[in-house]
Structure 1
Amino acid sequence: MQVQPYLFFEGRCEEAIEFYRKTLGAETDMLMRYKDGPEPTPDCQMPPGSENKVMHASLRIGESTVMASDGRCSGKSSFQGFSLSFKAPDDASAARTFAALGEGGQVQMPLAKTFFASSFGMVADRFGVSWMVIVEP
């Protein structure tokens, strides 16, 4: 059994995919645009001009899969009540990843040594997704 996060970027999915490709080495396993899907049903109308937006994407980050979409293209993403955890192999990698994720974002807890990790910090990226970066002892 697996639990996989599914993130809705409400119109910025392609930008997020590129950001995670650069910062985390994410690889796109699958990407489908709204124009590639079947005709929309009346209760699932998309805003005009959204045909090239991402209906579904599957990203591989290391050994993990993260799924993503532009959702209803509302322009109002809300990532609250959860964090994605990134386990770095060493402190130098953690520092690089933390800094890259924080570009245009907001540090919630600076990366530092803690009683449970040689490095741990929390940062919200430019899309509002909260990340915990950790190097286990």
Structure 2
Amino acid sequence: MQSNTYLNFNGDCQAAFKFYEQCLGGKIIAMMSYGESPMAEQAPPEQRDRIMHVHLTVGDMVLMGADFPPEFFEKPQGFNVNLQFDNVEEGERIFNALAGNGTVKMPFQETFWATRWGMLVDKFGTPWMINCNPPA
């Protein structure tokens, strides 16, 4: 079994995933707007440029998302996308990149359980936790 995070957005999914692709060093392997889909004629005209589905890979990790129809969109709450690193420098680089124009909730610092750990909400409203394990 594999669990993948599926993020919902309210019109800025494409910009968010291009940002994640750049920050995380991943690759968008699929992105389709409502207007490009087989259901394009059923989509309201104002919805056609919005993203119906996007799939990003970063190593073995998969991150997916979409612009939900406005009546179904809910602001993210009650979860964090957690990224685990062995390399502190890489964890810090990604923390700082994701934090750009976002809100740091807990600074990236040493804790009793991790070499470094921090929490942030990025400029698109996605909550993240970055954790770096202590050396084994």
The TM-score range, normalised by the shorter chain, is 0.7 to 0.9
Question: TM-score, with normalisation over the residues of structure 2?
Answer: 0.88
Deviation at 1:50, TM superposition (A): 2.4
**How far, CA to CA, are the matches of 1:77 and 1:17 in structure 2?**
18
- Identical-pair percentage: 33
Residues 118 and 52 of structure 1, relative CA distance in 2, 3 Å threshold: same
Match of 2:37 in 1: 37
**How far, CA to CA, are the matches of 1:41 and 1:34 in structure 2?**
9
Verify the 8 A CA contact 2:35 2:41 in the aligned structure 1. Answer: no
Q: Does 1:58 align with 2:55?
A: yes
**How far, CA to CA, are the matches of 2:51 and 2:8 in structure 1?**
10
**How far, CA to CA, are the matches of 2:104 and 2:50 in structure 1?**
29
Deviation at 1:69, TM superposition (A): 0.5
More helix by share: 2
Match of 2:80 in 1: 83
Question: For the aligned residues, what is the CA RMSD?
Answer: 1.9
- Ranges in structure 1 where 5+ consecutive residues have no aligned partner: none
Q: Deviations over 1:24-65 (max 9, x none)?
A: 1121111111112233697xx54x332122101111122111
Match of 2:101 in 1: 104
Q: Does 1:94 align with 2:84?
A: no
**How far, CA to CA, are the matches of 1:21 and 1:28 in structure 2?**
7
**How far, CA to CA, are the matches of 1:131 and 1:28 in structure 2?**
19
Q: Deviations over 1:53-97 (max 9, x none)?
A: 2101111122111111111157x6511000011112311112111
Equivalenced residues, count: 133
**How far, CA to CA, are the matches of 1:8 and 1:20 in structure 2?**
14
Verify the 8 A CA contact 2:80 2:128 in the aligned structure 1. Answer: yes
